[in-house]
Structure 1
Amino acid sequence: MDDELRERVRNAAEVNALYNALKHESDAQVGAIMGPLMGANPEFREHGDEIPGVIAPVVNEVNAMAEDEKRERLGELAPEKLEELEAEPEEEEEPTLPDLPNADEYEEIRMRCAPNPNGPWHIGHARMPSVIGTYADLYDGEFIVRFDDTDPETKRPKLWAYDQILEDIDYLGFEPAEVYRASDRLETYYEHARELIDLGGAYTCSCPAGEFSDLKNDGEACPHREKDTETVHEEFDAMVDGDFSSGEMVLRVKTDITHKNPALRDWVAFRMIDTPHPREEAEDYRCWPMLDFQSGVDDHLTGVTHIIRGIDLQDSAKRQRFVYDYFDWEYPEVLHWGHVQVDAYDVKMSTSTISELIDDGVLDGWDDPRAPTILSVRRRGIRGQALVDAMVELGVSTSNVDLAMSTVYANNRELVDDEAPRAFLVRDGFTPRGDADDREFEAVELPVSGGPDAAHPLVHPDHEERGERDIPVSGSVLLEARDLPAEGERVWLKGYGPVRYEGDELVYTDDDIDIVRDGTADVVHWVPGDENVRVRLRRMDGDVTGYAEPGYADYEPDDVAQFVRVGFARYDREDDDETVAYYAHP
């Protein structure tokens, strides 16, 4: 980061810190101003690793001011922000989803989440349970989970993905009223197919795919369309018995062969698949329903009142309505929405793509920090509610929408900041992943003389009642090389006090906090030179190695701490020679 950009960061941080402190009538926090700072200044994001260290001294200076000084300074820098603070406060409306259409016509609202268990969920998948779960809560209704696993070949289910998806839903904070597996319901689909045949709504067809496509596109009926019902039943029963191979026979829904949309003309309801299903309960079946038939039947039988699906699936509703008309069923209300794209990731948000990268050894697994998956954000210590709130805020627009991970991070910061204890981490190395830029982190060990034997910073700066951390200083400390002042200059070791750099040691001085307030000394983090914990911090862009204060050895898996001037991280595990943590966000 060059000097010009550093100054811009400092100026923007001062405005945000002043506004934050005055608005909440408390000290500003680095974490609390990171979100607005990055959101308003996208060009800062590529320097996200350096930003906390630049703005921390600014935040300290602001917190050292009296309230009238803060107001005066904010008025000088950003009078419009001061006016905003002093304006009559208006009640903020919580973002809400639009009303469900015709909701008052139903005794109970029932919605469904219909995942394909061909892998665990990527972040985009979180949108459906987040929104329908919120709707269920708003309307005192229910939502069900139905695994649409009727394609054992091209979208082959992974057996462990069933439970993993249910765990992901639980992580997001929802509990489905019922859980179904479509592969358990083949006999139900066969029963309805036979009823449809009796109603004259389906016929068996052995036309080669290309031949039927030509007929369909020309609006001409296939020669099998007028088969008698008995023959259709016999051939469908042969399909069910597995007497045909893949591609030899299908069951088609009889629609309008001259319909203006060729995609709706006599579409396939059942086809043959030679590949056995991976579930033992379904491995003997060879006649499998297409999704539009299976899903349409299940939506009716499970009492679904409202469906949300992608705008690209509008034809699904139109195809299914033919089946509903034959059975004289009432079709559910339908909302369509656009796709959601997520920033901050280089990996495509696609289950198949992520799976291939794992198989090729590019990603360590589904919870690799670089993977845009729910497993990954969960392992990083991001709470499900942060993701839910961000998804709900996107609404149900038919336009494509973008999810900024900075929004998820800001939501999570609000959820964890008050609970997360503070800790020091001195970085001392970086192993980049992929195309990440090399970042230089180096720790410097220096003896300390003349000061106390220990530091006692608060566990949490806003909660004195939680006590203090005891950090021994038994002769030397580790600092990040970038924090080392010029010879003869001073720094303030956070929680310990002022020291002067005198060439080969740090000498404790009797200066007071004014040296921080007047900008002549920066506040820096540190750890003891000998009593510390070796840490590997796994980030999206690479692994940072370093040393944490000794108390970090007492943490347990899933504990989230804020490494001062670095960011929030989740304690993962203790390896033989180091502790592993996963970085969440600034």
Structure 2
Amino acid sequence: MALRGRGGAGAIGSTERRRVAAPARLGYTRCMAEASVGPGNAPRREPSSSSNFLTDRVEADLAEGKNGGRVVTRFPPEPNGFLHIGHAKSILLNFGLAARFGGQTHLRFDDTNPTTEDTSYVEAIEADVRWLGCEWSRLTYASDFFERMYACAERLVREGHAYVDTQPQEAIREQRGAFDRPGVASPFRERPAEESLDLLRRMRAGELPDGAAVLRARIDMAHPNVLMRDPLLYRIRHAHHHRTGDRWCIYPMYDFAHPLEDAFEGVTHSICTLEFESNRELYDWVLDHLGPWEPRPRQYEFARLALGYTVLSKRKLLQLVNEKRVSGWDDPRMPTLAGLRRRGVTPEALRDFAELIGVAKNNSVVDIGKLEFALRADLERRAPRAMAVLSPLPVEVTTWPAGRIEELTLPWWPGEPERGTRQVPFGRELLIEREDFAEDPPAGWKRLAPGREVRLAGGYVVRCDEVVRGPAGEVKALRVSHDPASFGEGAPRRGLGAVHWVHATRSLPAPVRLYDRLFAVAQPDAEPDFLAALNPDSLTVAAGARVEPALGEAAPGTRWQFLRQGYFFADPVDSRPGAPAFNRTLTLKDTWAARAAKPAEPPPPKPRREAPAGGGEAGPARRSRADARAEQRAATPELADRFARYRGLGLSEEDADVLTADLATAGYFDAALAAHPRAASVARWLTNDLLGLAQGRELAALPLDGAAFGRFVALVDAGRLPAAAAKALLADLVARGGEPAARMTELGLERIDDRGAVAAAVERALAARAAEVERYRAGEKKLFGFLLGAAMRETQGSADPALVRSVLQEQLG
């Protein structure tokens, strides 16, 4: 991001643009670091190299000679929205993993759903990936491979592995059954290959309407993994595609397209988030029946990012935009990369954050304090100091000659004048922060009060002599006297507090937007209505703010620390030469943690203790939690037996380790298994969600016992709850208890698949928004997203979004 300015050492708006070749950390990388800074940019530190289970996997593959020594990863976003901070973790991981081993990373757009995708999203995604410092070796689209995918579909039909089903979608969904109920074969499952092939070609030719037929894989209707029960491979969708236009009217499903794209591109390691763990079986089935492939892609899963005080669901982010709860995708309160960039966050800070949280196999909610810690550490190094008064209180220095202005030379970096200085005007009429004066100060007050002295930052010591009041007795201004001997070389230091200030007339007005966390609760996704958790103070504007004159030349896109206020960013859109506008990136201290009486900063990761080069003792290494649990199992045979039994049930070593942390946790898990014997699902919900909601409490102390928890997971596996509704129900059960099925019904969270019920809900939503419906029908098509959000809320988020969209389109005409 180039900045305007005079250039030169210490010039405001100077910029340094550089490429940094550095080793990857944790599989993340600094492919290219681009810094947009103010004067005196601090040098970046070189990252260290460390490992995780994915780097270990790649190293093992290379050692075994797999894939011909190649490492190819990919980042495959769907172009239906803007990227967010969770995508940044995936981008850095995929690009970093390949860079660490001298491999390649492809940027691939998964454009298989023409109704939600747009070229504007493609352009935004490309810009975000580049901003993070990553350059792809190949740019592809799923649509590049539509012809090859279709050929694969015909091959499956010819070889007896797929058939065309002409039943309604509702019948297919019902026949697939659930975990506790086997599937029922379609009456068209044994349709002759020639007939299915003819129907498939008619589907492609556009002879059949949407929903009239689908192509299904012929696998196993009794398979324990519901996804393997003759899954859909192609569906009809008559919609204009942003790249292929109207050339296609059938589109591949994700589970069919994803493995084929990886194979076509020569991807070796397909890195996905944990929600695709169950899809891996189908991923392998597709490749096994359409190979051989060289290299043969393999899918691996890691924990996606869940961040406190944040929502990362694209649907919810789109709702925030469409309902104008925020100003757009790049609103600085949004967790999108565009929003973070406009707030002043740097790509280096995001890479530091990714390194701090690491790569895990189990989902958990990351404390947002860790992100803010990484931001402060980054901005502290790069942001020069300046003065701004956000809520001005006039101050008259009565002992200063009227009309006289003294230009004080102050450094941008206190104590480091060699990194640049600027001139700050001092005169009779000044402004200080209103909160820096107290008529009846508390104990320990080190700011201004009647009869007390304070130093004006970088300038003179003044004493408050008189308070000027308004008609209602309010404080309107202060009259102070200054000590001429208190400034300059040799001036005595008095140990006083210091306040920032600006000249009343020589300072410049500048809108200053004070951004804060968008949500007021740590887990808004767990709330019945996430919109009710919005923080009403997430944006306030200091409309009367004044900044020192030098900041008038602050180039758009530069970063600053306003003394005692926080870190600020000259808005790249609204700032003008001589008329800057500033966005607050972050306060200087964690005020949220202070409210909760917690430490202000999360500690940085401690370096691993290494043995001295001479072979001496390095001192006792700190035990990890896994080590402590292993020792506990060694001392408790019953725990060791359960660990072995859980591994025998097919659980990963990590899950078995967590579940045998103690006998109480293992007992809770066993009680859940007795109610719902699908070990993988119960373990996943317990380790990924329940432990986080418990917030350190013993599971036995929760109002949700193990058996009830098992019944909750059974509801999810039976398909009766959408993912978001399941999380909301679990949070309610942890807080209040109750029978899961009954609470699901009371809260109205059960999935709605009945088209009539959805139609009634959509009709109610439209009736309540008649004005918007009329504007939409008059041609204001951008209101569709708003109306879709209203319809989804009317169903309380429990309906299939695709069904709601279809019904809404019908009712809108």
The answer to whether 1:121 aligns with 2:83 is yes
1:524 corresponds, among 499, 504, 508, to 499
Deviations 1:393-421 (A, max 9, x none): 33332211333443333333443433322
Name whichever of 453-462 and 419-428 sits farther off. 453-462
Q: Distance in 2 between matches of 1:464 and 1:409?
A: 29
Q: Distance in 1 between matches of 2:325 and 2:307?
A: 20
The answer to whether 1:533 aligns with 2:534 is no
2:106 alignment partner, SS class = strand
Give the conservation status (yes or no) of the 8 Å contact 1:423–1:564: yes
Question: Percent identity of the aligned residues?
Answer: 26
How far the C-alpha of 1:176 sits from its partner, in A, is: 1.2
Structure 1: which 5+ residue stretches go unaligned?
Answer: 1-91, 429-441
The answer to whether 1:192 aligns with 2:152 is yes
Question: What letter corresponds to residue 132 of structure 1 in structure 2?
Answer: N
Query: What's the counterpart of residue 559 of structure 2?
Result: 560
1:238 corresponds, among 198, 202, 227, to 202
Query: What's the counterpart of residue 759 of structure 2?
Result: none
How far the C-alpha of 1:335 sits from its partner, in A, is: 2.2
Q: Distance in 1 between matches of 2:336 and 2:78?
A: 15
The answer to whether 1:142 aligns with 2:97 is no
Structure 2: which 5+ residue stretches go unaligned?
Answer: 1-46, 438-447, 467-477, 517-537, 589-813
Query: What's the counterpart of residue 97 of structure 1?
Result: 52
Deviations 1:276-324 (A, max 9, x none): 33x1523332111000111111011111111222222122211122222
2:277 alignment partner, SS class = helix
Query: What's the counterpart of residue 364 of structure 1?
Result: 327
Query: What's the counterpart of residue 301 of structure 2?
Result: 336
Give the conservation status (yes or no) of the 8 Å contact 2:450–2:465: yes
The answer to whether 1:262 aligns with 2:237 is no
Query: What's the counterpart of residue 315 of structure 2?
Result: 352
Question: What letter corresponds to residue 395 of structure 2 in structure 1?
Answer: E
Give the conservation status (yes or no) of the 8 Å contact 1:183–1:282: no
Q: Distance in 2 between matches of 1:574 and 1:220?
A: 63
Query: What's the counterpart of residue 32 of structure 1?
Result: none
The answer to whether 1:507 aligns with 2:481 is yes
Give the conservation status (yes or no) of the 8 Å contact 1:349–1:372: yes
How far the C-alpha of 1:221 sits from its partner, in A, is: 2.7
The answer to whether 1:584 aligns with 2:585 is yes
- In structure 2, relative to structure 1, the CA distance for the partners of 1:103 and 1:446 (3 Å cut) is farther
Q: Distance in 1 between matches of 2:503 and 2:510?
A: 14
Query: What's the counterpart of residue 465 of structure 1?
Result: 418
- In structure 2, relative to structure 1, the CA distance for the partners of 1:135 and 1:487 (3 Å cut) is same
Query: What's the counterpart of residue 290 of structure 2?
Result: 327
Give the conservation status (yes or no) of the 8 Å contact 2:394–2:429: no
Give the conservation status (yes or no) of the 8 Å contact 2:333–2:340: no
Matches within 5 A, 1:278-357: 279-329=242-292, 331-345=296-310, 348-357=311-320
Q: Distance in 2 between matches of 1:262 and 1:97?
A: 31
Q: Distance in 2 between matches of 1:167 and 1:315?
A: 32
- In structure 2, relative to structure 1, the CA distance for the partners of 1:558 and 1:93 (3 Å cut) is closer
Query: What's the counterpart of residue 81 of structure 1?
Result: none
1:174 corresponds, among 101, 111, 134, to 134
Question: What letter corresponds to residue 187 of structure 2 in structure 1?
Answer: P
How far the C-alpha of 1:142 sits from its partner, in A, is: 1.2
1:499 alignment partner, SS class = strand
How far the C-alpha of 1:577 sits from its partner, in A, is: 9.9
How far the C-alpha of 1:263 sits from its partner, in A, is: 2.3
Give the conservation status (yes or no) of the 8 Å contact 2:556–2:576: no
The answer to whether 1:110 aligns with 2:72 is yes
Normalising to structure 1: TM-score of the pair? 0.76
Question: What letter corresponds to residue 505 of structure 2 in structure 1?
Answer: D
Q: Distance in 2 between matches of 1:93 and 1:556?
A: 33
Query: What's the counterpart of residue 211 of structure 1?
Result: 171
Matches within 5 A, 1:541-552: 541=538, 542-545=540-543, 546-552=545-551
- In structure 2, relative to structure 1, the CA distance for the partners of 1:100 and 1:111 (3 Å cut) is farther
Question: What letter corresponds to residue 85 of structure 2 in structure 1?
Answer: I
How far the C-alpha of 1:558 sits from its partner, in A, is: 0.6
Question: What letter corresponds to residue 200 of structure 1 in structure 2?
Answer: G
Give the conservation status (yes or no) of the 8 Å contact 1:336–1:396: no
Give the conservation status (yes or no) of the 8 Å contact 1:144–1:177: yes
Question: What letter corresponds to residue 144 of structure 1 in structure 2?
Answer: H
Q: Distance in 2 between matches of 1:361 and 1:413?
A: 29
Name whichever of 458-467 and 442-451 sits farther off. 442-451
Query: What's the counterpart of residue 159 of structure 1?
Result: 119
Q: Distance in 2 between matches of 1:490 and 1:427?
A: 22
Name whichever of 119-128 and 398-407 sits farther off. 398-407
Give the conservation status (yes or no) of the 8 Å contact 2:164–2:215: yes
How far the C-alpha of 1:478 sits from its partner, in A, is: 0.6
Give the conservation status (yes or no) of the 8 Å contact 2:456–2:498: yes
Q: Distance in 2 between matches of 1:426 and 1:119?
A: 38
Name whichever of 204-213 and 262-271 sits farther off. 204-213
Give the conservation status (yes or no) of the 8 Å contact 1:149–1:181: yes
| Structure whose residues are more often strand by fraction | 1
Query: What's the counterpart of residue 446 of structure 1?
Result: 396
2:369 alignment partner, SS class = helix
Question: What letter corresponds to residue 461 of structure 1 in structure 2?
Answer: P
1:315 alignment partner, SS class = coil
Q: Distance in 2 between matches of 1:262 and 1:576?
A: 60
- In structure 2, relative to structure 1, the CA distance for the partners of 1:150 and 1:371 (3 Å cut) is same
Q: Distance in 2 between matches of 1:515 and 1:399?
A: 59
Q: Distance in 2 between matches of 1:506 and 1:287?
A: 78
Give the conservation status (yes or no) of the 8 Å contact 1:112–1:307: yes
How far the C-alpha of 1:181 sits from its partner, in A, is: 1.6
Give the conservation status (yes or no) of the 8 Å contact 2:407–2:425: yes
1:270 alignment partner, SS class = strand
The answer to whether 1:474 aligns with 2:434 is no
Query: What's the counterpart of residue 704 of structure 2?
Result: none
Deviations 1:95-134 (A, max 9, x none): 5433241331232111111111111112222111011121
Question: What letter corresponds to residue 201 of structure 2 in structure 1?
Answer: D
- In structure 2, relative to structure 1, the CA distance for the partners of 1:530 and 1:219 (3 Å cut) is closer
Normalising to structure 2: TM-score of the pair? 0.56
Give the conservation status (yes or no) of the 8 Å contact 1:456–1:496: no
Name whichever of 285-294 and 568-577 sits farther off. 568-577
- In structure 2, relative to structure 1, the CA distance for the partners of 1:303 and 1:184 (3 Å cut) is closer
Give the conservation status (yes or no) of the 8 Å contact 1:130–1:392: no
- In structure 2, relative to structure 1, the CA distance for the partners of 1:426 and 1:240 (3 Å cut) is same
1:223 corresponds, among 187, 198, 201, to 187
Q: Distance in 1 between matches of 2:174 and 2:111?
A: 30
Q: Distance in 2 between matches of 1:248 and 1:170?
A: 42
Q: Distance in 2 between matches of 1:303 and 1:272?
A: 28
Q: Distance in 2 between matches of 1:576 and 1:558?
A: 12
Q: Distance in 2 between matches of 1:483 and 1:249?
A: 71
Query: What's the counterpart of residue 422 of structure 1?
Result: 385
How far the C-alpha of 1:356 sits from its partner, in A, is: 2.1
> Aligned-residue CA RMSD in angstroms?
2.6
Higher relative contact order (CA 8 A, sep 6+): 1
Q: Distance in 1 between matches of 2:334 and 2:418?
A: 39
